[in-house]
Amino acid sequence: MNQLIKSTIIVLLSLSIFACQNDQKTEKYEVDSSNFQLVPIDKNLKGSSEIDEFILPYAKKIDKEMNQVLSLTKKSMFKTDSKFNTAIGNMMADAVFERIQPMAKEKFDIQLDGVLLNYGGIRSGISEGDITVKTAYDIMPFENEVVIVELSYEKVQELFSYLAKAQVAHPIAGMQLEIDHLAEITHQEFHSKKLKEEETYFIATSDYLLKGGDQMNFFIDNENVFETNYKLRNLLIDYFDSKDEIKATKDQRFIKN
């Protein structure tokens, strides 16, 4: 195990033990004196057998949990596979739609129209073979949660315009976008309903994008926000665990004619 990781774990465990012990005491302590030594974290830093022995049972438990097999794929998927939509991006957006739509209906009594995530949020690919808990952590190491954002017709137009101009494989689901060689929109729609000026639309996204991350500022000036309290990473774990095999592909949801 990397020495930095080991050191971090031991510090956290020590702090936890100290906190538990301190809860049982009422004495107050003050620092009488202190000293420090700067220890560079590089290849010359030697490991400690005492620390290794202390961490070993925790490391074994974490490894066992992280290596739990959830599903499999017969084809590797990476976000650089194509320009406008990718198998891994489509899989992620479809997973959010599949897991969030029932919640949207049951908890909020709304119909989910689409999903928009961000290309930069995909931090790893999926290699051919077993899909494990670690796979989900590699793809999504952040603590971002899924939120449902209600957008006006005007903001939806900004959303589609953003995608058309960016020409990046941001993961989308429940919608279709076609552009020409000038990046002008030739077709846009939600599969659930036609775009109408008097309507509002419900888009599942991350709390990072809700705040205007990746310059998706159309999410900021919204009509309403519905909190799911569902981490995107946990959603992926649940999605993988519900499938015997992941068969994601590139399709026609965002294309350039």
Correct CATH for 70-256 of 3.30.300.180, 3.90.780.10, 1.10.167.10, 3.40.50.150 = 3.90.780.10
Average pLDDT over residues 134-157: 97
- Residue scoring higher pLDDT (49 or 171): 171
- Residue 51: its pLDDT value, please? 84
Residue length of the chain: 257
DSSP 67: T
The whole-angstrom separation of Cα 106 and Cα 110 is: 8
DSSP string, 31-50: -----------STTPPP-HH
Question: Coil, strand or helix: which one is 106?
Answer: helix
The whole-angstrom separation of Cα 127 and Cα 76 is: 4
The whole-angstrom separation of Cα 55 and Cα 17 is: 14
Average pLDDT over residues 233-255: 97
Confidence grade of residue 43 (pLDDT, cut at 50, 70, 90): confident
Q: Is the pLDDT of residue 47 over 90?
A: no
Confidence grade of residue 18 (pLDDT, cut at 50, 70, 90): very low
pTM of the model: 0.81
Percent of the chain with pLDDT over 70: 90
Residue ranges, comma separated, of all CATH 3.90.780.10 domains in the chain are 70-256
Q: Are 145 and 234 in contact (CB under 8 A)?
A: no
Burial of 125 (0-12, 13-18, 19+ CB in 10 A): middle
The whole-angstrom separation of Cα 80 and Cα 74 is: 18
pLDDT digits 0-9 by tens, 84-117: 999 999 999 999 999 999 999 999 999 999 999 9
- Residue 203: its pLDDT value, please? 98
- Residue 91: its pLDDT value, please? 98
Average pLDDT over residues 122-146: 97
The whole-angstrom separation of Cα 138 and Cα 74 is: 19
pLDDT digits 0-9 by tens, 154-189: 999 999 999 999 999 999 999 999 999 999 999 999
Q: Strand 200-206 relative to strand 145-152: parallel, antiparallel, unpaired?
A: antiparallel
Confidence grade of residue 11 (pLDDT, cut at 50, 70, 90): very low
Structure tokens belonging to residue 168: 């990046």
Average pLDDT over residues 3-17: 50
